Amino acid sequence: MEYSRYNPEWNGTSRLFQEMIERDAMMVSGFHELPGGGDALLLILAPGESYAPDEIGLLRTFLEEGNIVVLVSDKERENLLISGLGSSIRIRDGNLTSIDRFFDHPSSVLAFPAGQDPLGAGISRIVLNNPSSLEGGEPVFTSSLLSWIDADGDSRLGRDETLQRFSVIAADRVGEGVLYVIADPSIFINGMDAIGMDNENYALARQIMSARPRFIVEQGRSRTAYAPEAIRVVNLVKDSTITKMAVITLIFLVGSIFVIGRWKEA
């Protein structure tokens, strides 16, 4: 249930998806459903598995047409997808740690805008939660200089660990489009509400949602689409009018049998 849109707990993304639905986001289960034209932004949040080469090809075509793709992942596995899209950005699944932190925990790294990318406009900082780091591309958000990769996992700056800025959001132009990579999907979980009223992580999310006229969310491989069986059934009912009618009829039938039985007994 990590990252699941149906999970209202701290590690779900129900609040983010509620806002997406309010903004009429289009949910796609595969890249073949992507619309034509160059006015869309596709969000791929926390992919759960790798994409096949033909899917990557479809995505690259979509990107090169002038659309925007925002990939939010902290797994090096996604480097296959990124390189397949023709980008030089690479995810480094290190244990990024910083002195500049929001919570008193090494994983609560603060990142600050770098450069003039419109994605970071008006946002003074974002709060990460156990992020990876990025190499390549144009940095959009970076950690402060007092950051390091905690290779030995002791949460402390060691002798062989070097202080430097690490890119956590990077952009790369591919054809006519732009690929953004965000190295931490946890910035959008429900629990990040705890960072306060002026939640700049959500400001970033809203920036992403409104960057293009059409906002599309990938739901085929994303961990956000995961739902337990009970919720799947509910969704199935909710999504189809015929199923809704069938369920209502069934309920009436069962109710009628019960009432008639009681009546006869009396």
Partner 1 sequence: MRRLPALVVSGILVLACLLLIGLQAGSPLLYSPRSDPGGADHSNPAALERAREDRAAQVLPLISDLLDSPGSLVLNIKSGDFEYAARDLQEYRQISRSLDTLVINLDMTEGELNEFRNANQQNLAILTELFNGTGRWNELQTLEIRYRDSGDSQMLTTITYEGEALRRRIQDLYRDYLEQDQVMRDTGEKFGLDTTGYGQSVIDFREIVSQIDRDQHEKMTTLQTTGTPGTGPYRLTLGIDRQRVSYMDTVRIEGLLWEHKKDHPDEVDLFIDSRKIGSIPTKPDGSFSYSHLVEHDREGTHTVFAVYSGSVFSEIRTFFVETSGTSLDLKTPSLHNGRVAFEGVLLAGSTPVRFAPIEILAEGKRSGTARTGEDGKFSSDVKLSPGSHKVHAFFSADTSPLAPSESATYEVFVPEPSPGIAGEDGLLANPYYAVILAASLCASGFGAFLYLRRQRVGLSPPIPVFHLPGERAPDGADNENLPDLDDGGTVTGVVPYTGEAEAVDTVPSGDLSSLFSALRMAVARRLAFLYPLSLTPRELCAMCRELPFRAEVCRFTSGYEQVMYSGASVPDDERDMIGSAARSAMEGMGGPDH
Provide the binding-site residues for partner 1, judged by CB under 8 A. 2-3, 10-11, 74, 98-105, 107-108, 129-130, 144-146, 148, 154-159, 161-163, 185-186, 189, 191-195
Residue in 47, 21, 39 with CA at minimum distance from that of residue 218: 47
Alpha-carbon distance values, 15 to 20, 39, 137, 191 (Å): 9, 25, 30, 10
Taking the least distance from each CB to partner 1, the nearer of 163 and 233 is 163
- Cα angle, residue 144 at apex, residues 138 and 149 outer, rounded to 5°: 90
Q: Output 87 or 190, the one with its CB closest to partner 1.
A: 190
CB of residue 52 to partner 1, shortest distance in Å: 24
**Shortest spacing between CB 241 and partner 1, in angstroms:** 37
Q: Token pair for residue 98?
A: 């910083």
Closest to partner 1 by CB, 160 vs 229, is 160
- From the list 83, 201, 194, the residue with the least C-alpha distance to 131 is 201
**Which residue, 73 or 87, is less far from partner 1 as judged by CB?**
73
Position 198: which residue type? Answer: D
| Residue nearer to partner 1 on the CB measure, 145 or 234 | 145
Nearest Cα to 231, choosing from 10, 12, 73? 12
The conformation of residue 51, written as its DSSP 8-state character, comes to P
Closer to partner 1 by CB, 3 or 141: give it.
3
Q: Which is nearer to partner 1, 167 or 201 (CB)?
A: 201
Long-range (24+ apart) CB contacts under 8 A made by 123-127 are 123/200, 123/203, 123/204, 123/207, 124/200, 125/200, 126/187, 126/200, 126/201, 126/204, 127/102, 127/103, 127/187, 127/192, 127/195, 127/200, 127/201
Smallest distance from partner 1 to CB 45, Å: 13
At closest approach, how far in Å is the CB of 156 from partner 1?
A: 5
Q: At closest approach, how far in Å is the CB of 166 from partner 1?
A: 14
For residues 27 and 219, the answer to whether their CB atoms sit within 8 Å is yes
User: Minimum distance from CB of 96 to partner 1 (Å)?
Assistant: 13
CB of 111 to partner 1, least distance (A): 13
